[in-house]
Amino acid sequence: MFFCAPAYRHATRLHGTVRVITPLVAARVFARLGKEPLDSRKDGMLWLLAANEPGLAARLVTKDEALGDPAIFVKWLDALTASGRRWEVLEVLSDKRNPLPDIQTRLYQANTLKLLGRWQESHDFYKRVLEWSFDKPQARIKAMTYVYLAGENRLFEWSLRPLLKSPGPARAALRAFLPVAQSLRDIHQTRRLHELALEEGGLPQ
């Protein structure tokens, strides 16, 4: 279990050494931290997320506070998403103060739409991000990785195939994506990447 130090100290003052995070412990930590300065509440939000209490975590930091800190903003979005407040995620992503890069915002929007069951809109968002990133190598790899991890295999393959038509880009693509598939122990995808490279001619037979 991961503990942020300030929040952990609050928990141990209340309950001694915390080995199992019960809803009661989390609620009491939340109540105490709600009166603390922002830095302590940020730590507390991460602690509550790690304790599987996203609803409480999201309430420790206000929308305005989250928008003012890109690193915390991402975690706050995760807390909103995990606690079912997905419409709020879409709303705040459209806020002009959103500190995230455009590509990251669009990927979050696509994922949130998917979680809301708006499949076609989600697909269209993912595809537009991939199209936008085609001439931006680093952004393209990032977008494709996100799409793959989101389980959008058809879109992933659609964006991957052009990279596999010549040896240099094919090797670079395999260096980027094979470790991702292997880290997930995705044997099928690992094999599929090699198959696609052979189909498109980027790797020698």
Most confident of 3-12, 15-24, 150-159, 176-185: 150-159
**pLDDT at res. 2:** 40
Provide CB contacts within 8 A for 25, sequence distance 6+: 11, 14, 15, 18, 51
User: Tokens 């599929």, residue?
Assistant: 192
Q: Tell me the two tokens of residue 43.
A: 């730590």
**pLDDT at res. 168:** 85
- The answer, as to whether pTM is greater than 0.85, is no
* DSSP codes joined into one string, 86-110: HHHHHHHHTSTT--S-HHHHHHHHH
Classify residue 94 by burial, with Cβ atoms within 10 Å: 0-12, 13-18, 19+: exposed
- Residues 137-192: pLDDT tens digits? 888 999 999 999 998 999 999 999 998 888 888 888 888 988 988 888 888 888 88
Across 124-140, average pLDDT = 91
Going by the DSSP 8-state scheme, the letter that residue 201 receives in this structure is: T
Question: With 60 as the cut, is the pLDDT of residue 4 above it?
Answer: no
Classify residue 93 by burial, with Cβ atoms within 10 Å: 0-12, 13-18, 19+: middle
- Residues 46-92: pLDDT tens digits? 888 888 889 988 988 999 999 999 889 999 999 999 999 999 999 99
Grade residue 31 by pLDDT with cuts at 50, 70 and 90. Answer: low
